[in-house]
């Protein structure tokens, strides 16, 4: 009885926080797409591609400067919090901050000095030098802001993380961007808006961290478990590097083999395809630190049930997004402006890989938060080199379609491998028989909407929105008709209450 009550309490926490995170993700993506559409329509694929290359290099540098401590602190802060060890909790936060600040300052100097070499030698475009120098100055603020957000996440106070990442930063970026575009700036406007957004994240992360846990106060005295944190975080540093490199390698290799315009179109494709992962991101925000907490108490039965339930709900919410990317690929890409519709086929292919990623649930965090950082690193190495190899073979001949195929296949393969590893190490998988319900609901909805799309000569923005809404309504009706089990009904009620409270606030 007690175990059922704790399971319901944990399920309630996941559902409530996932709904908050989901609202944040929706708002974030709405602002994100408005921002990207404003950028792409104002500057075109080439300048958008130059900005994305500079942005990707900055984010890869952030992985090196974080030294794996983002995920290290996510685990250890949650772990020490669960045990009530305030001294080690404080020491972990201070130690992580000092290390990442030092590394980020060092990398900023190196990349700033070699920006011309990177631009000309690797991407054959000297116009990349100045944007890279400008963006890399923000690296220390970006690194510390990201680290402190992970600490906030570890305390499971999700609302502050959502405020910063999903509301404050995108709103500030969009407002600054539009203001600078109105006075005639183009690439410079994008760079300035990006830096101001990063600074916004830095200052609010610090403010909320101090509010949650006054780390600046002298008492209690911190205890530094440096060796344990480094031993866990170092493999994760390499894992993060390989993960981010793999995430961006298609764009980087497009920049090397093709043109900045190809990079611009492909990044627009990625912005749409990543919507498929929105539900997984929402659930991971709260479920990731809970995995470490539940595992530390050896409550494996509860962990398995929560894993199954969250994975099913991620798929229920992700599958219709994928199907819309298939049915409406060309009009969706056309929203970004002239020339971007060329990415329609790439969107379908990349979307398939992202669906497998979403449908596998929190497999990466299941391995990481149960202490298997070396396995996580090995997976990232496999993922990275397979993706590099496929991109190297496919991009020169097939361009953005080759990049999408390489990344989609790599995503599918690595997530299948992670599923096998979770089963071997923990003894369970995330699937139930009623996982078939959303599959059937999606296929039936597609059979109704696809003929309408096929018979339309052209699909403008309003028609795209109407067809997408029609599909979602049909999918929701079919899901309802197939009936929900007890956990599904419970989650829906909790999410509905949270959405109702948010709307009243």
pTM listed for this prediction: 0.70
Distance CA 230, CA 236 (A): 10
Distance CA 28, CA 20 (A): 12
pLDDT beneath 50, residues of the chain:
1-2, 498-500, 502-505
Which H or E run includes 91? Answer: helix 86-113
Distance CA 76, CA 351 (A): 34
- 14 contacts 226 by C-beta, under 8 angstroms: no
CB-based contacts of 471: which residues, under 8 Å, 6+ apart?
Answer: 320, 323, 324, 327, 445, 446, 449
Distance CA 331, CA 341 (A): 7
Q: How far is the CA of 298 from the CAs of 52, 295, 369, in angstroms?
A: 44, 5, 13
pLDDT of residue 137: 94
Q: How far is the CA of 374 from the CAs of 219, 232, 237, 368, in angstroms?
A: 35, 9, 11, 9
Distance CA 251, CA 259 (A): 10
Identify which of 195, 226, 262 has the alpha carbon closest to the alpha carbon of residue 49: 262
Annotate 239-293 with DSSP letters as a single string. Answer: HHHHHHHHHHHHHHHHHHHS-HHHHHHHHHHHHHHGGGGHHHHHHHHHHHHHHHH
- 40 contacts 202 by C-beta, under 8 angstroms: no
Identify which of 168, 357, 378 has the alpha carbon closest to the alpha carbon of residue 277: 357
Distance CA 28, CA 172 (A): 12
- 187 contacts 50 by C-beta, under 8 angstroms: yes
Other C-beta atoms closer than 10 Å to the C-beta of 356 total 19
Distance CA 293, CA 255 (A): 42
- 139 contacts 61 by C-beta, under 8 angstroms: yes
Sort residue 399 into left (φ over 0), alpha (ψ -120 to 50) or beta: left
Other C-beta atoms closer than 10 Å to the C-beta of 117 total 10
Taking the alpha carbons of 80, 159, 70, 491 in that order, is the dihedral positive or negative? positive
What's the number of CA atoms in the CB half-sphere (13 Å) around residue 267?
A: 32
Which H or E run includes 335? Answer: none
Q: Where are the alpha helices (DSSP H) in 369-435?
A: 373-426
Distance CA 247, CA 60 (A): 10
Distance CA 140, CA 134 (A): 13
- 412 contacts 352 by C-beta, under 8 angstroms: yes
Strand segments (E) across 78-136: none
pLDDT of residue 21: 57
């Amino acid at each position: 009885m007690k175990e059922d009550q704790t399971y319901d309490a944990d399920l309630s926490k996941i559902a409530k926080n996932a709904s908050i995170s989901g609202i944040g993700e929706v708002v974030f993506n709405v602002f994100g797409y408005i921002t990207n559409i404003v950028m792409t329509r104002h500057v075109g694929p080439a300048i958008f591609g130059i900005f994305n290359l500079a942005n990707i290099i900055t984010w890869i540098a952030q992985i090196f400067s974080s030294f794996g401590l983002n995920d290290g602190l996510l685990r250890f802060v949650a772990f020490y919090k669960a045990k009530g060890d305030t001294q080690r909790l404080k020491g972990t936060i201070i130690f992580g901050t000092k290390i990442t600040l030092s590394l980020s300052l060092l990398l900023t100097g190196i990349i700033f000095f070699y920006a011309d070499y990177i631009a000309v030698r690797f991407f054959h475009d000297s116009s990349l030098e100045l944007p890279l120098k400008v963006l890399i100055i923000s690296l220390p603020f970006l690194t510390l802001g990201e680290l402190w957000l992970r600490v906030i996440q570890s305390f499971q106070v999700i609302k502050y993380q959502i405020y910063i990442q999903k509301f404050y930063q995108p709103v500030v970026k969009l407002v600054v961007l539009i203001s600078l575009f109105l006075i005639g700036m183009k690439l410079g406007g994008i760079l300035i808006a990006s830096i101001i957004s990063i600074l916004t994240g830095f200052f609010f992360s610090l403010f909320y961290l101090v509010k949650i846990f006054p780390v600046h106060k002298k008492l209690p005295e911190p205890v530094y478990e440096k060796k344990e944190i480094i031993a866990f975080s170092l493999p994760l540093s390499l894992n993060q590097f390989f993960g981010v490199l793999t995430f961006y390698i298609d764009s980087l290799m497009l920049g090397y083999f093709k043109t900045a315009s190809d990079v611009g179109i492909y990044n627009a494709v990625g912005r749409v395809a990543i919507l498929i992962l929105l539900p997984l991101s929402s659930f991971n925000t709260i479920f990731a630190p809970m995995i470490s907490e539940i595992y530390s108490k050896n409550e494996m039965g509860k962990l398995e049930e929560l894993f199954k339930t969250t994975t099913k709900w991620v798929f229920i919410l992700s599958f219709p997004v994928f199907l819309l990317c298939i049915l409406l690929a060309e009009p969706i890409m056309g929203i970004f402006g002239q020339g971007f519709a060329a990415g329609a086929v790439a969107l379908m292919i990349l979307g398939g890989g992202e669906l497998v990623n979403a449908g596998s649930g929190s497999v990466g965090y299941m391995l990481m938060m149960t202490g298997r950082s070396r396995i996580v690193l090995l997976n990232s190495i496999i993922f990275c080199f397979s993706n590099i190899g496929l991109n190297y073979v496919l991009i020169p001949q097939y361009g953005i379609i080759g990049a999408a195929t390489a990344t989609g296949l790599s995503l599918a393969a690595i997530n299948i491998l992670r599923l096998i590893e979770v089963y071997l190490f923990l003894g369970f998988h995330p699937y139930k028989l009623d996982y078939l319900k959303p599959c059937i609901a999606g296929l039936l909805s597609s059979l109704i909407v696809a003929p309408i799309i096929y018979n339309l000569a052209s699909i403008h923005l309003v028609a795209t929105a109407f067809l997408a809404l029609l599909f979602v309504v049909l999918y929701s009706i079919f899901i309802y008709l197939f009936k929900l089990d007890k956990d599904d009904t419970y989650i829906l009620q909790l999410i509905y209450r949270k959405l109702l409270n948010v709307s009243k606030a």
